[in-house]
Amino acid sequence: MTEKLTDAARKEQIAPLLNNGWAMVDGRDAIHKTFQFKNFVEAFGFMTRAAIWAEKLNHHPEWSNVYKTVDVILTTHDVDGLSVLDAQLGTKLDALAGG
């Protein structure tokens, strides 16, 4: 079972994401990032590739898409906060987006 990140693990696993454009969500133990693409097709392609990884990790983002923008929130609902799964998926999303 996945566990909520400890303070030490948070510094190790979430801090690099925060340094790469992710931000803490006000009022929640979650992180958020907005990804911008050249057009809708690139945004949708990113979401498709991300969905495959989300299934592999069995960890699914809260996200929305408007034209070339994809907003993503990561948190682990089972632990009511951030877990290693959020760090893994956030890192993968950054790689898929080319950043």
Q: Which is more confident, 34 or 1? A: 34
Quick one: average pLDDT of 26-52? 97
Domain count, the chain: 1
CATH number at 48 reads 3.30.1360.20
Which pLDDT value is given to residue 99? 61
pLDDT at residue 3 greater than cutoff 70: yes
Distance CA 43, CA 10 (A): 29
Give me the domain span that covers residue 46.
24-79
> How do residues 84-98 score in pLDDT, each as one tens digit?
999 999 999 999 998
0.85 surpassed by pTM = yes
User: Is 34 contained in some domain?
Assistant: yes
Residue 5 lies in a domain: no
- Please give the pLDDT value at position 2: 86
In a domain, 49, yes or no: yes
Q: What is the mean pLDDT of residues 46-52?
A: 97
**Does residue 92 contact residue 22 with C-beta atoms inside 8 Å?**
no
Give the rounded percent of residues in the chain with a pLDDT score beyond 70. 99
